[in-house]
Copies of this chain bind each other. A is one copy, B any other.
Amino acid sequence: MGNNINNNGHPFSMYFDLINGKSENKVSSKRLLSQMKGMFFNQKAYESALEKEDKMVYEFYELDLPSTDGNLLFGTSIVYPGKIGDEYHMTKGHFHTILDTAEVYYCLSGEGYLMMENPEGDWKAEKFTPGQAVYAPGRYAHRSINTGTEPLVTFFVFRSDAGHDYGTIETKGFRHLVVEQDGKEKIIENPNWKES
Contact = CB atoms under 8 A, between A and B. Distances in A.
Interface of A: 7, 9-18, 68-72, 74, 98, 100-104, 106, 108, 114, 116, 122, 124, 126-127, 130-140, 155, 157-159
Which of A10, A69, A133 has the largest count of B CB atoms less than 10 A from its CB? A133
A16 B106 contact: yes
A106 B155 contact: yes
How many copies of this kind of chain does the complex include? 2
A15 to B, nearest CB: 5
A11 B106 contact: no
B131 A7 contact: no
Contact of A133 (B74, B102, B133, B137): B74
B71 A126 contact: no
A72 B132 contact: no
A100 B70 contact: yes
Given A9-B138, A102-B71, A155-B106, A14 B124 contact: no
A128 to B, nearest CB: 8
B71 A132 contact: no
A72 B157 contact: yes
A104 B103 CA distance: 13
Given A71-B138, A155-B155, A13 B126 contact: yes
A135 B15 contact: no
Contacts of A139: 9
B12 A135 contact: yes
Given A11-B135, A13-B132, A69 B69 contact: yes
A36 B12 CA distance: 28
A131 B23 CA distance: 9
